[in-house]
Structure 1
């Protein structure tokens, strides 16, 4: 609907310019004025034409205003200095808009393009921690937004089963006379993490163990000890998958890097790169990237001939290139050089260079985190603490059956975590603070509360969706702001998908919830002159808040 409004304004400008026999810009720019008193849309076409026509913008605007016709969806078109401002007829807009908002509102037609989106891909050497969580939440939310925007999306988790960290865990199983079930902890990934920390301590005491670990890697690449490596990785992934399921993070497919070695793909990549004439050998095989403006070479094999993560990553991206039209990777900002190197190699071999979303890290107020040193908060601990704090708040506000309170607390706690991370652009560093993330005065809890308020009001009115919109209803004040925001939702989805960004959706749903809370306080609904229209408006807000939160992987409770 918002696109319809924009197009109506552009069409009226185009027709006016044609009547005046003035040039029509390839793109007629529109913007939203900072003050609603200046209209709903402002056109800057006079500025765009001033240089070409060598005339003051005010004169051009005056000419356009002398012939322009007011489109049907607007009640007035006025000039404010050199700007041409359009005022929406909210009586007409609201009637059309509320008729089309349904459960699928915000969805776009299929685009016919397939996206392979890789995210999370944390090493399976312990539980996910808050250093991983930003990757998972950005990736999962973006996948939801892209699907809503009409793309076919497959999300993938790239399983690093051939890294030294996994070999260290295997070494521990083979040399410490223990099995993973001997370690304390309810979840498998936490047990693996404890073994990993123990092996790290042994390495500090005896650096010679490193050669034994390297030998295990060589053997695994040659096809030995496959069962043990597979058992370790699957054992850890079982626990990590439980965490992701609780956080509402979903992957369509898990791709194991070891399979790319054993099926010969990595070997083929190395030979193909040799044929480019850009490889060099000096104890190790590497790709010389100086011609591409990168001084640091990309090492392809170790001195013993075994492959490296980067080599296998190239093979993985070539596989994705065959399966998808667009590749998107979510990576920490410390991977920028490696991503650029791999992208060049993939391009050299005829693959598709991935679009990469880089994010800055999350730290604790007391400093950085390290899996190796055991200095981290696991995502499980984070969610447990969020649930506990949310439950305390729910119990303060209402008396509910234990199972109901528990379910609401889980929705609020998970929502707080996901929203706290989704609300900021990935380029911004985050210091994770409990009080901010779990605040019930702002953020996700206030959005979920707005949804619950809408549900409660509709239930009280016995709303069934058949209520008529009164012909004389014309939205004013808070109602007008709600209509304007509701009309924008499909555009927000489309623009977030095009920009590959999640935070615009988070900001939008906060704005919508704030506007609804203001409306709720100021505008009578049940028993009012325009009860039917206002109930339809409330129901539309309910649908859009739920749909927007759904794009962020957040549940919208019907009661709080």
Structure 2
């Protein structure tokens, strides 16, 4: 509602500027006053107009305020959503909304954020190499991506969720080397091992196949460098020979890679489902290779002049990308800094394959994957790419906008893909290509010790300790989730002993998952996170449990009042609340923050930053808790004031539950 009022206000200001001064501004700034006593909006437009009109800003502000005030009547340009327009300072216009009208609209449910845009968006996130169990760093990617999907859908956009699977990469090759050469297992033995692990169902996590692969991967990484110089050379040669066999396909090594990567992928999907993270499509690199996506992209890149064949310098014999911003070099001199897309031995770089993949994403490649069902969720089927798919099937390419949730270390390759799209003439698509980057997740020393790691004394004073799956130092995602649930279950058992075991388990899971997701979301994407159990699970400060507890507190109010939030709001919408709200800035602040849902949503999408939503919901919980401690809601004797207090609690509850769901966090009934 706040955003809708703001848009109406700005539209009217544009009309007045045109009719009064014959001036059209591309945009008009609007601010929020530092104190609600000054109003809900502040317009500094008079300062911008002062030079053009050769008038003092305060004179212009006075003229505009008068014109805006004249617009408040029926059919005069602004409805009764606004109360007054006042000149302040040297030329600001402070705008007050009609609190009674705004409150009635909010109480009646007029705070919708969904606006059917018709925009088809593709979000790619998670994209874990299918060679071992998921770890804590992968959780930040998946939680950021899943939350942004929820935000886009809340804004009315059609979103497909993709999880890119690099099943032919060097990490998978390393695990294949480990099973075939360190473990000495054959293809039939690996197939049997996977079948046995999957048949065991809910076995101890350390017995799962993805956990076994974690250990094999760490061992083989050390094996490559643990022998003599000649032995290490031979082992590395074996690594790349294995990689080439996997990429080529149609051989026993490739079949082993397919078995291992598929089994690990299923475990990854199960892990993410614990966080209520789901996917629509799993495109695999094996199909990008075998369906010759690159061949089609290569021809387009050559035809549009994006690639050229280098005949001189260090890149001689390579196909390199034309750099529009490269410094001018003398004729016949090679551009040594040009990006290599096809090496002199004919192999395609990662960026080349990624260009082909993104042409498909935008529907510009001229070829599609085959599709087959792979993983069934409660409400939809997740499909996976294949060479020869089933019919009928959905289609997941041809998006109008894409977001790639990929860590900041991939900024250069992502920029290369965007550059290629622009060079090919796909400017609109390049403009709608967003690299949704983020920084790494580490551990606080305290957290590392809690997880059982031996930490050197000098590392205990560091702000964080980096994790490394290759070195075997890391936190498996499922272990982290289990530990969080165990901690919250212990607390829940103490606080809610009368509840059934299943209820206590559900509450513990809701709190644990909420704590984890909120911790990953409250930091801006460019911040390195040092995860800590105590910080994440705290009921004080900016945490998921703090927000959840505010919801539980409000629900307890309505249980004791023997009414429902819905009934309270329905009754309140019919009342005249102007007098009580006009004199209660602290209470109005809760209503106003709740009204900003659409504005915060738009801000998140415009900046690709979910942290704004996390901050919004925390501040609302904080404001409600302050309100709760100042007002005795249930014992208030004045019926009108009690109705306002209950309605304020109901508005806060509705907003907290709604926005928390955008973060993928459930609202427990008790804690």
TM-score bracket for the superposition, by shorter chain length: over 0.9
- Corresponding residue for residue 151 of structure 1: 157
Counterpart selection for 1:187 from 208, 221, 227: 208
- Corresponding residue for residue 238 of structure 2: 212
Q: Secondary structure in 2 aligned to 1:136? A: helix
1:20 to partner: Cα distance: 5.0
1:372 to partner: Cα distance: 1.0
1:66 to partner: Cα distance: 4.6
- Corresponding residue for residue 558 of structure 1: 669
Q: Is the 8 A contact 1:270 1:300 kept in 2?
A: no
Counterpart selection for 2:117 from 97, 111, 124: 111
CA distance in structure 1 between the partners assigned to 2:67 and 2:419 by the alignment? 55
* RMSD, matched Cα: 2.6
- Distance of aligned partners of 1:376 and 1:418 in 2 relative to their CA distance in 1, 3 Å threshold: same
- Corresponding residue for residue 331 of structure 1: 406
The question of 1:415 aligning with 2:514 is answered: yes
- Distance of aligned partners of 1:40 and 1:341 in 2 relative to their CA distance in 1, 3 Å threshold: same
Q: Is the 8 A contact 1:287 1:299 kept in 2?
A: yes
The question of 1:285 aligning with 2:318 is answered: yes
Q: Secondary structure in 2 aligned to 1:58? A: helix
**Structure 2 residue ranges without an equivalent (≥5):** 73-79, 198-204, 328-335, 364-397, 445-463
- Distance of aligned partners of 1:220 and 1:511 in 2 relative to their CA distance in 1, 3 Å threshold: same
- 1:2-13 paired onto structure 2 within 5 Å: 2-10=2-10, 13=13
CA distance in structure 2 between the partners assigned to 1:302 and 1:17 by the alignment? 59
1:96 to partner: Cα distance: 1.6
The size of the alignment, in residue pairs, is: 557
Q: Deviations over 1:447-493 (max 9, x none)?
A: 01111122222233332433412634332233211110111112211
Counterpart selection for 1:457 from 540, 544, 557: 557
The question of 1:260 aligning with 2:368 is answered: no
CA distance in structure 2 between the partners assigned to 1:99 and 1:398 by the alignment? 35
520-529 vs 373-382, which moves further: 520-529
Q: Secondary structure in 1 aligned to 2:159? A: strand
**Structure 1 residue ranges without an equivalent (≥5):** none
- Distance of aligned partners of 1:341 and 1:187 in 2 relative to their CA distance in 1, 3 Å threshold: same
- 1:91-102 paired onto structure 2 within 5 Å: 91-101=100-110
TM-score when normalising by structure 2: 0.78
Q: Secondary structure in 2 aligned to 1:228? A: helix
Counterpart selection for 1:344 from 409, 419, 424: 419
The question of 1:500 aligning with 2:608 is answered: yes
1:172 to partner: Cα distance: 2.4
- Distance of aligned partners of 1:387 and 1:334 in 2 relative to their CA distance in 1, 3 Å threshold: same
The question of 1:446 aligning with 2:521 is answered: no
Q: Is the 8 A contact 1:289 1:296 kept in 2?
A: no
Q: Secondary structure in 1 aligned to 2:162? A: strand
The question of 1:377 aligning with 2:485 is answered: no
- Corresponding residue for residue 58 of structure 2: 58
Q: Secondary structure in 2 aligned to 1:37? A: helix
Q: Is the 8 A contact 1:200 1:372 kept in 2?
A: yes
1:514 to partner: Cα distance: 1.1
CA distance in structure 1 between the partners assigned to 2:345 and 2:597 by the alignment? 56
Q: Secondary structure in 1 aligned to 2:276? A: coil
- Corresponding residue for residue 98 of structure 2: 89
Q: Secondary structure in 1 aligned to 2:318? A: strand
CA distance in structure 1 between the partners assigned to 2:125 and 2:3 by the alignment? 32
TM-score when normalising by structure 1: 0.92
- Distance of aligned partners of 1:133 and 1:481 in 2 relative to their CA distance in 1, 3 Å threshold: same
Counterpart selection for 2:595 from 462, 487, 505: 487
Q: Secondary structure in 2 aligned to 1:300? A: strand
- Corresponding residue for residue 404 of structure 1: 503
Q: Is the 8 A contact 1:106 1:493 kept in 2?
A: no
Q: Is the 8 A contact 2:493 2:504 kept in 1?
A: yes
Counterpart selection for 2:351 from 293, 296, 310: 310
- Distance of aligned partners of 1:261 and 1:4 in 2 relative to their CA distance in 1, 3 Å threshold: closer
541-550 vs 184-193, which moves further: 184-193
- Distance of aligned partners of 1:162 and 1:68 in 2 relative to their CA distance in 1, 3 Å threshold: closer
